[in-house]
Amino acid sequence: MTTNRTRRPGGRTWTVARVVRDRNAGLYLASVVVSGFGTSALWLASGVWVKDLTGSDGLAALCMLAMWAPTLAGPLLGTLADRVRRKPLLIGTSLLMAGLLLTLFAVDSPRGVWLLYAVLFVHGAAGVVHDAAESALIATAVDGSLLGDFNGLRTTADEGMKLLAPLAGAGLYAAYGGAGVALLDAVTFLLATVLYALLRVREERPGPPAGAGRGRTAEGARHLWSHPVLRPLVSAGGATMLCAGLSGALVYAVVDGLGHSPAYAGVLYAVQGAGSVVLGLLAGPALRRFGELRFAAYGIALLSAAVALRAVPNDPLAWVCSAAIGAGLPAVLIAALTAVQRETPGPLLGRATATAHTLVFAPNVLGLAAGAILVELLDHRLLLVVLGLVLLAPAAGLLQSAASAERTASRSPSDASPA
């Protein structure tokens, strides 16, 4: 089972240096850093840009929605990653976005905001296709024993950019306006294109599709649902992100309970990001030691405790809880992605990855919306304690699945096929 496949014979542990020395893994990580920097900067600047042009908080909030909405079409968009060779798709998608972002130089009045929304929507759709193609290509281009380490380091790179890029984006916006940030994002896409072109991969041209279009799109979901390891991981990931969205909507109430101004939320987010950076560095060895199911379960259990303890109005404890949330939340995401890459046939990997992303990340949007309503109706401390208890359910479910997988793996052939 997957629990055992994460360990190489002889128990050798691969280090961060081993991943970076792998040519393809190093190039991929560099592309994540480069493109993630530009994208994170644009996410912040786009809302500020719309707010400055229109004066509307609601219209500014729509920027994030425009980038997230294409995630709901993940199963359909992921089909593209299985229909063409993935390296050219990554290059083509990056070049497309570099060109589209330059059109934002025309946005200089409220009448041009529609163009910004359109580009952000395409940006989000390209991101879904990009993630599906990248995940599928990584599974074939990077040594299978390095997948857990790579996905952990990717999380570290993502979170590192989220800590740095917003500050750079804010400074660039203040100096040159939204067009300057759009230019930065375009340049990062061009740099990522160069890195993708340097990859050494051999891809066969995908064969002609079989079956009806709707059936091909649903194949990724069927694979996830029928697999004994992927189904509990993706289900737990979706439940965890739903609760994370609810918890995230309460952060300003937590800050208010601590007696600080709303700007203090930035400090808590920075500490949370630092926790995710550390978790990313440790993810590979932890996956080999515990397996995907147990690693995800322990991460959710840590998240559960941290969310519940946030109800206590204490500054040092709030910092500890933020770091624990940063370390606990990505565990199930890293475990699920690594398992999908290991357990999915190559021709199906694009659809399976995109479908998994939709099932895991879409609930986060619902959680944010529900949390924004509930925080006005109920005491945030009660909500945090309840969320902490609810998170114990997916953690327990994963531990039960892990125990079941281990019992099945330990059965002898005679036990499995009695006379």
DSSP assignments along 335-387, one per residue:
HHHHHHHHHS-GGGHHHHHHHHHHHHHHHHHHHHHHHHHHHHHS-HHHHHHHH
Q: How far is CA 55 from CA 59, 118, 176, 177, in A?
A: 8, 19, 19, 16
Average pLDDT (90-110) is 92
**28-42, 211-225, 294-308, 403-417: which has the minimum mean pLDDT?**
403-417
Q: What is the pLDDT of residues 349-374, one digit of tens each?
A: 888 888 888 899 888 878 877 887 88
User: Cβ distance 304 to 395 under 8 Å?
Assistant: yes
What residues have CB less than 8 Å from 298, skipping those under 6 apart?
A: 290, 331, 395
pLDDT at 94: 92
| Six-digit token string for 402 | 């892990």
**If pLDDT is split at 50, 70 and 90, which confidence band does 411 have?**
low
**271-275, 307-311, 374-378, 380-384: which has the minimum mean pLDDT?**
374-378
Q: How far is CA 326 from CA 159, 244, 271, 273, in A?
A: 9, 11, 8, 6
pLDDT at 238: 93
User: Cβ distance 205 to 87 under 8 Å?
Assistant: no
> Among 153, 173, 162, which Cα is nearest to 39's?
162
Q: Percent of the chain having pLDDT more than 90?
A: 30
- H-run or E-run covering 195: helix 178-197
pLDDT at 10: 38
CA distance 362 to 159: 20
> Among 85, 351, 96, 347, which Cα is nearest to 199's?
85
For the chain, give the mean pLDDT. 82
Q: What is the pLDDT of residues 225-265, one digit of tens each?
A: 888 889 999 999 999 999 998 888 788 788 888 888 766 77
